[in-house]
Copies of this chain bind each other. A is one copy, B any other.
Amino acid sequence: MIIVIGSATPASEVERIIGELSQYSVTIEKSVGKYKTVIGLVGGTSSINPDNIQQISPSIEQVIRVKHPFKRASIDFRHGEPSSVDVSTPLGVVSFGQNHPLVVVAGPCSVENEEMIIETAQVVKASGAQFLRGGAFKPRTSPYAFQGHGESALGLLAKAKEVTGLGIITELMDTSDIDAVAAVADIIQIGARNMQNFSLLKKAGATGKPILLKRGLSATIEEWLMAAEYIMAADNPNVILCERGIRSFDRQYTRNTLDLSVVPVLRTLTHLPIMIDPSHATGYSQYVATMAKASVAVGTDSLMIEVHPNPSVALCDGPQSLTPNDYIELMHEIKSVAQFFGRGQSFTNYIPRVTTLKNRVFA
């Protein structure tokens, strides 16, 4: 249930209203928007009569029942105003959201060794990324495949952060690793295969850290938002939704099917920021640039791009990783596309010219 309060209402009256609401056994969340203040009630609201709420104060403009099963994630919960997830990094606060420039996250599938992660971090920073991604714990289909270097890789991510100032995004797979991951990650990633690992969602949510929630391989939009709701129900409003391709009947030429229309649809359902990962979605580096540009065209708030110094010898996901030079070339294009679609200006960093790097040892 949402209570919309008029813009001119004094703070003391808002507090008085909240005080009155404490008689109901519900969780109360205040959200101060640009024009309105919205008070959300979550829990046993079905027995509450909206008319009784209305009578608490003449400053209450509207009392609305949220019709969707997701509440805190619902666009109604913020009365239509998009939310912003603000993340502190050594280089400053980076904000994800519709009213902010496009944010770029880049890096390898997994942290392989110190040299490669530092080098990749430097390249992606130089080309305009705000975050470094890199897996310490890797969900792999086979138990015999490389599972990530685990805690030692977390240490290398911390070093890359120290050297470059980039924020760090890395995946949490097991609730028992939560402290180690939270110590290094500026944003904790929940992978597609764990999107309905509800224990993980609750505990990751409880850290208070920003959470990147990847859509499950065949999760409906509603199930995805309900997974976000698990995190938000743990009092953590900082959720970023990441589309990374869904499973369809045709997997001959792409690994997954990138569902781009999810962006305009989500805008009608939720206030949460959106990221697109064209690398996992297509599974082949040759399609990443085109789909990254299309992602900006549909209005994504953020991009996640896989980059590896030498994709042909990558320990995982090589085929979908861009080389540093391909990445730099893409960032030049993305910069221009983001500006065209009104989401530019975040690329204040210098993007090196590809030729500058031609002599380097990347590939």
Residues of A within 8 A of B (CB): 42-43, 69, 71, 137, 139-144, 147, 173-176, 193-194, 196-200, 202-203, 217-218, 220-223, 226, 229-230, 233, 246-254, 257-261, 263-265, 268-269, 281-282, 286-287, 290-291, 293-294, 296-299, 337, 340
Instruction: Kindly identify which residue among B176, B257, B259, B296 contacts A175, using a CB–CB cutoff of 8 Å.
Output: B176
Residue of B143, B199, B222, B299 near A226 (CB, 8 A) is B143
Whole-angstrom distance between the Cβ of A243 and the nearest chain B Cβ: 12
- Of B198, B202, B218, B265, which is within 8 A of A249 by CB? B218
Name which residue of chain B comes closest to A295, CB basis. B294
Q: From residue A204, how far is it (CB to closest CB) to chain B in Å?
A: 12
Please, which residues of chain B bring their CB within 8 A of the CB of A250? 220-221, 246
Q: How far is the CA of A233 from the CA of B264 in the complex (A)?
A: 40
Contact among B174, B199, B223, B297 with A296 in the assembled complex (CB-CB below 8 Å): B297
- Provide the bound-state CA to CA distance between A229 and B254, in Å: 22
Could you jot down 28 A-B contacts, CB within 8 Å? A69-B142, A137-B199, A139-B198, A141-B196, A142-B226, A143-B198, A144-B229, A147-B198, A174-B200, A174-B203, A176-B176, A193-B197, A194-B197, A221-B250, A246-B248, A246-B257, A247-B249, A248-B259, A254-B261, A258-B261, A260-B260, A261-B281, A261-B290, A261-B291, A264-B282, A294-B294, A294-B297, A340-B340
- Taken together, the copies of this chain in the complex come to 4
Q: Is the CB of A233 within 8 A of B143?
A: yes
Q: Which residue of B lies closest to A43 (CB)?
A: B144
Is B253 in contact with A291, judged by CB distance below 8 angstroms?
A: no
Q: Please, which residues of chain B bring their CB within 8 A of the CB of A203?
A: 174
Residues of the B chain whose Cβ atoms lie less than 8 Å from the Cβ of A229: 142-144
